[in-house]
Amino acid sequence: MSKEKIIGIDLGTTNSCVAVMEGGDFVVIQNSEGARTTPSIVAFTQKGETLVGQFAKNQAITNAVNTVRSAKRFIGRRFNETSDEVNKVSYKVVRSGNDGVKFETSAGEMTPQEISAKVLQKNETNC
């Protein structure tokens, strides 16, 4: 039997939020920490863990180079269009093939879409 659901996603630059249609009404889904919004932050720790949301935010100061926030600003943009943003972020932004954008982290190079997917994945698991 199919498990089709109607969900609405607000993938924000700073925070993200997911709602699901239930009996004709939408219900905002709480994340595992009990919050209705999740910080759009992904971190890669020295231990090889990937932290998403509030936990990534909690350790941001100790691991700024591997903590990616505001990834949405880079989606759909060429590297030469992002010089303003590149200077504002704590992580390393590099040019990828076809003048695209990638983030250099301890877990390897990640595209902005991959980072956003991790934020969505965390929200999706709560649905």
Partner 1 sequence: MSEQENTVTENSANDETEGSKVNDSNVESSEETSKIANLEEEINKLKVENSSLKDSWLRERAEFQNYKRRTANEYLTIKREAVKSFVIKIINPLDNLERVGMGVSITDELKPFIDGINMIKNEFYSVLQKENIQKTDPLNKPFDPMSMEAIAADESENYTEETVIEVYQVGYEFVENNERITLRPSRVKVGRPKF
Contacts 24+ apart (CB under 8 A), 34-38: 37/12, 38/119, 38/122, 38/123
The region of 8-16, 30-38, 89-97, 107-115 touching partner 1 under the rule CB under 8 A is 30-38
34 binds partner 1 (CB under 8 A): yes
The binder of partner 1 chosen from 7, 21, 28, 62 (CB under 8 A): 62
The binder of partner 1 chosen from 56, 101, 115, 119 (CB under 8 A): 56
Cα–Cα distance measured from residue 125 to residue 74, given in angstroms and rounded to the nearest whole number: 25
What is the sign, positive or negative, of the torsion defined by CA atoms of 124, 7, 119, 102? Answer: positive
| Residue 3 or 88 having the CB closest to partner 1 | 3
Cα–Cα distance measured from residue 53 to residue 14, given in angstroms and rounded to the nearest whole number: 10
Cα–Cα distance measured from residue 125 to residue 127, given in angstroms and rounded to the nearest whole number: 6
The region of 6-14, 50-58, 89-97, 111-119 touching partner 1 under the rule CB under 8 A is 50-58
The region of 49-57, 75-83, 88-96, 113-121 touching partner 1 under the rule CB under 8 A is 49-57
Binding residues vs partner 1 (CB under 8 A):
1, 3, 22-23, 30, 33-34, 43, 45-46, 51, 55-62
